[in-house]
Chains A and B, each alone.
Chain A
């Protein structure tokens, strides 16, 4: 099964909002509410930012939000800050023994 599709890059100025998309199919993103998002700074392990489409783990700022429409999930970062500059990956459950990752999006804070 193919990976989920993310834009390779996104950018915004401090204080602005940016939305990163994650497109799959009805067999993964569209079929389950098990989409999660991870932030990864260079040389570091990924960090969970959003799970089950729109839930935020404790400690993650409410500037980060998730949503889904049809086969596309989205991560929105509001009030961009310099420390938000990182790579972001989406994942989706795609049935038993099948988990898909997106190719990643490099977010640049201008």
Chain B
């Protein structure tokens, strides 16, 4: 069955960096767009970034543009999110999701369990 397992979260100081990984299995990873979606503690969901099945095109939410970089390695069935210049407002659970449908962001069929990123001094 489809599995998405995130890792790499943790506590980091403001201005610091962190790299999230998502290991995918149970489906043909290279066939699908993938996205990162985050949820701040006690808050709603926020789309962060999306990457096509081949690696381009890529898109970002305005709130992370220029600071975060999404990438993927289809040979390793893995999705990544490099997060630089982290701010307190980036504190959230980050979910790796399969982006399905006719357009990027149409719907998110499968979600990982999430990894918590805490930005605090």
A residues bordering B, Cβ < 8 Å?
3, 34, 36, 38, 45-48, 51-52, 57, 89, 91, 93, 96-99, 101-104
Q: Is B44 close to A, CB under 8 A?
A: yes
Q: Is B59 close to A, CB under 8 A?
A: yes
Q: Is B32 close to A, CB under 8 A?
A: no
**Interface pair B111/A47, CB less than 8 Å apart:** yes
Looking at the complex, which one of B44, B103, B113 makes contact with A103 (CB distance below 8 Å)? B44
B residues bordering A, Cβ < 8 Å?
44-47, 50, 59-60, 95, 100-114
**Interface pair B105/A3, CB less than 8 Å apart:** no
With both beta carbons as reference points, the residue of chain B lying nearest to A50 in the complex is identified as: B107
Q: Which 8 A-B pairs have the closest CB atoms?
A: A51-B107, A99-B105, A97-B59, A36-B107, A45-B111, A99-B47, A104-B44, A101-B45
User: Chain B contacts of A36 at CB under 8 A?
Assistant: 106-108
**Interface pair A34/B46, CB less than 8 Å apart:** no
User: Chain B contacts of A38 at CB under 8 A?
Assistant: 45, 108
